[in-house]
């Protein structure tokens, strides 16, 4: 008797459930030290969720945005509020707060798609055995992890060194702030560099905020580094690039995914010329690809005129949000409830996963229950700036060819078990 009543209640409430909007949390940094890259990424996520709602992709969502200014305690406090309001999933941002929330989202079973690509978040089963890395079964991100991207760039650097015909061991230096986000790939990078035969110089520190870093550049030059990894976001990397250009430092800079984009190229000018950095999408704004039409439709959500230039971070935000949208679609199949576990399982539902309608834009992702390294193929681009970038918008400069993103190569790493989680 009870069962029939329950079944009847469920049957009646299913349409109702389908109509109710699922609350989704969205943490952004629009005002803090990483806002220069947080603004376009957050915009991409927000626009995509709105577009998905309008076009009946996934399930209807109610996105609760919160700008936490890159201060982890504010993000944690907002999370506490959200988890009590029963959000189904969260689009996150920074490394400190994402890593702080790992335990919470695991306990509360809320999938968390972060803007942080820290490798510690990929160890879903907690089996890597790395110290300080906990199981993170509910953490996902779109793109290669910082460590994998750095490994890919080091492999490229070794080939580049050989191609240049240089003798001796190349020297590598890690540069970044003393902060979890730049520190995340430091150990992995330095270890691989040693394995590849690089001479690893002591790491050089510079803050996440813009400033004068001539002293650091002089130290870099005196150390004789050939390759230097810039671990911060674009804002402070620009200061370093300009200072090092002034100081006449001849180093091949390797950026991280957040360290270089079109806005940074405009701000840094010719100092950014030649920086090699990973790009998470298969195409950049303005290139032709089957999925680019949908990206442009998404862009029109916040830019009706269609004139804005969307940097690489915007497109990455689009892909990250689409992953969550399609995971929710899988979770909601057959009238399933929109619970955290079902959404998480939705991430495992597809292989070589490119969200529908975004071919050629979003790179394929593969998530498994023990390994949340979505992609191990790292497309490397080189920033090309050939002229004065002070006047003109980014769109105009790209159209004129003063700013260019030149594809270099794509390095595909092996899915090594001993590289999981760090």
Partner 1 sequence: METGLLFQLVLNGLIVGALYGVVAMSFVLIYKASQVVNFAQGEFMLIGAWACWWLLTYWQLPFWIGFPVALAFMTVFGVVLQVTVLRPLIGEPVISVIMATVGLSIFFQALMKWMFGVFAQPFPAIFPVERIRIMGLEVQSVYLLSIALSLMIMLGFWWFFNFSKHGLAMRATAFDQQVAQSLGISVPQVFAMSWAISAVVSAVAGVVVGVVSGVSSGLSFYGIKVFPAVILGGLDSVVGAMLGGIIVGVLENLAQYVDSQWLNWGNMTNIAPFYALIIILLIKPYGLFGTKNIERV
Partner 2 sequence: MALAPAGEFHASYRADMTIMPTRNSRRALLLGIVLLCFAPLVLGRYELGLLINIGFMGIAALGLNILVGFTGQISIGHAAFFGVGAFLSAYLHERFHIPVILCIPLAGLGSAVVGLVFGLPAARLKGLYLAIATLAAQFILEDFFARAQWFTGGVSGRMTEAVELFGIRFDREESYFYVVLAFTIIMFVMAANLMRTRDGRALIAVRDHYLSAEVMGINLAYYRTLSFAISSFYAGIGGALYAHYLFFVSVEAFNILFSIQFLAMVIIGGLGSVMGSLMGAAFMVLMPEGVQALADMLAGGWIDRTLKLGASISFLREMAIGAAIILFLVFEPDGLAHRWKQIKAYWKLYPFSH
Q: Can you give the binding site for partner 2, defined by CB under 8 A?
A: 30-32, 67, 69-73, 76-77, 80-81, 84, 96, 99-100, 103-104, 178-180, 183
Strands (E), 347-402: 377-385
Strands 171-176 and 199-200, sheet pairing: parallel
Token pair for 366: 């593969």
Which window, 244-252, 278-286, 341-349, 357-365, contacts partner 1 (CB under 8 A)?
A: 244-252
Q: At its nearest, how many Å lie between partner 1 and the CB of residue 240?
A: 9
Report the residue from 15, 165, 248, 306 that binds partner 1 according to the rule CB under 8 A: 248
Q: Is 251 exposed, middle or buried (0-12, 13-18, 19+ CB in 10 A)?
A: buried
Q: Which does 81 bind (CB under 5 to 8 A by kind): partner 2, partner 1, none?
A: partner 2
| Maximum Cα–Cα distance across the chain | 83
Q: Which does 100 bind (CB under 5 to 8 A by kind): partner 1, partner 2, none?
A: partner 2
Q: Which does 183 bind (CB under 5 to 8 A by kind): partner 2, partner 1, none?
A: partner 2
Q: Which does 409 bind (CB under 5 to 8 A by kind): partner 2, partner 1, none?
A: none
Q: At its nearest, how many Å lie between partner 2 and the CB of residue 95?
A: 9
Does residue 242 bind partner 1 (CB under 8 A)? yes
Q: Which has the closest alpha carbon to 141: 267, 378, 319?
A: 319
User: In the 8-state DSSP scheme, what is residue 23?
Assistant: E
User: Residues of 333-360 as b/e, b for ≥16 C-beta within 10 angstroms?
Assistant: eeeeebbbebbbbbbbebeebbbebbbe
- Cα torsion for 220, 221, 227, 232, to the nearest 10°? 40
Closer to partner 2 by CB, 134 or 359: give it: 134
Question: What is the C-alpha to C-alpha distance for residues 331 and 338, in angstroms, rounded to an integer?
Answer: 6
Q: Which does 207 bind (CB under 5 to 8 A by kind): partner 2, partner 1, none?
A: partner 1
Q: Which does 212 bind (CB under 5 to 8 A by kind): partner 2, partner 1, none?
A: partner 1
Edge to edge, the sheet with strand 61-67 lists 61-67, 22-28, 89-91, 112-113, 139-140
Q: Which does 246 bind (CB under 5 to 8 A by kind): partner 2, partner 1, none?
A: partner 1
Report the residue from 64, 247, 297, 377 that binds partner 1 according to the rule CB under 8 A: 247
- Is-contact 90 111, C-beta < 8 A? yes
Question: What is the C-alpha to C-alpha distance for residues 58 and 299, in angstroms, rounded to an integer?
Answer: 19
Binding mask 257-286 for partner 1 (x = CB under 8 A): ------x--xxxx-----------------
Q: Which does 71 bind (CB under 5 to 8 A by kind): partner 2, partner 1, none?
A: partner 2
Does residue 59 bind partner 1 (CB under 8 A)? no
Closer to partner 1 by CB, 96 or 217: give it: 217
- Is-contact 386 266, C-beta < 8 A? no
Q: At its nearest, how many Å lie between partner 2 and the CB of residue 314?
A: 15
Taking phi over 0 as left and psi of -120 to 50 as alpha, with beta for the rest, 318 belongs to: alpha
Could you list the residues that contact partner 1 (CB under 8 A)?
Answer: 30-31, 35-36, 39, 178, 202-205, 207, 209-212, 214-216, 218-219, 222-223, 235-236, 238-239, 242-243, 246-248, 263, 266-269, 388-391
């Amino acid at each position: 008797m009870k069962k029939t009543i329950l079944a009847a209640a469920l049957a009646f409430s299913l349409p109702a459930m389908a109509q109710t909007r699922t609350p989704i949390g969205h943490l952004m940094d629009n005002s803090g030290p990483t806002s220069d890259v947080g603004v376009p990424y957050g915009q991409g996520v927000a626009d995509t969720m709105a577009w998905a709602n309008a076009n009946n992709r996934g399930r209807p969502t109610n996105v609760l945005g919160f700008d936490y200014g890159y201060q982890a305690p504010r993000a944690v406090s907002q999370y506490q509020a959200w988890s009590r309001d029963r959000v189904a999933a969260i689009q996150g941002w920074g490394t400190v707060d994402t890593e702080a929330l790992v335990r919470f989202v695991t306990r509360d079973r809320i999938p968390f798609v972060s803007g942080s690509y820290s490798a510690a978040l990929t160890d879903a089963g907690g089996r890597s055995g790395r110290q300080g890395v906990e199981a993170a079964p509910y953490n996902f991100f779109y793109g290669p992890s910082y460590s994998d991207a750095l490994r890919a760039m080091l492999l490229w650097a070794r080939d580049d060194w050989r191609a240049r015909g240089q003798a001796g061991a190349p020297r590598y230096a890690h540069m970044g702030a003393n902060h979890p986000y730049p520190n995340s790939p430091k150990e992995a990078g330095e270890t691989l560099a040693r394995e590849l035969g690089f001479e690893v110089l002591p790491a050089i520190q510079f803050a996440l905020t813009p400033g004068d870093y001539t002293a650091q550049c002089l130290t870099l030059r005196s150390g004789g580094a050939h390759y230097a990894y810039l671990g911060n976001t674009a804002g402070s990397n620009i200061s370093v690039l300009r200072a090092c250009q002034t100081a006449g430092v001849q180093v091949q800079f390797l950026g991280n995914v957040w360290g270089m984009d079109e806005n940074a190229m405009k701000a840094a000018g010719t100092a950014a010329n030649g920086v090699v950095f990973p790009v998470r999408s298969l195409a950049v704004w303005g290139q032709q690809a089957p999925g680019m039409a949908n990206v442009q439709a998404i862009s029109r959500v916040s830019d009706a005129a269609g004139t804005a230039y969307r940097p690489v971070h915007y497109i990455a935000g689009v892909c990250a949000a689409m992953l969550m949208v399609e995971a929710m679609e899988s979770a909601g199949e057959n009238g399933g409830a929109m619970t955290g576990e079902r959404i998480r399982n939705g991430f495992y539902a597809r292989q070589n996963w490119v969200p529908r309608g975004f071919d050629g834009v979003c790179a394929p992702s593969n998530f498994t229950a023990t390994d949340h390294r979505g992609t191990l193929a790292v497309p490397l681009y080189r920033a090309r700036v050939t002229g004065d970038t002070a006047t003109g918008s980014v769109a105009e400069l790209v159209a004129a060819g003063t700013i260019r993103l030149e594809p270099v190569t794509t390095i595909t790493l092996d899915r090594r078990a001993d590289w999981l989680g760090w």
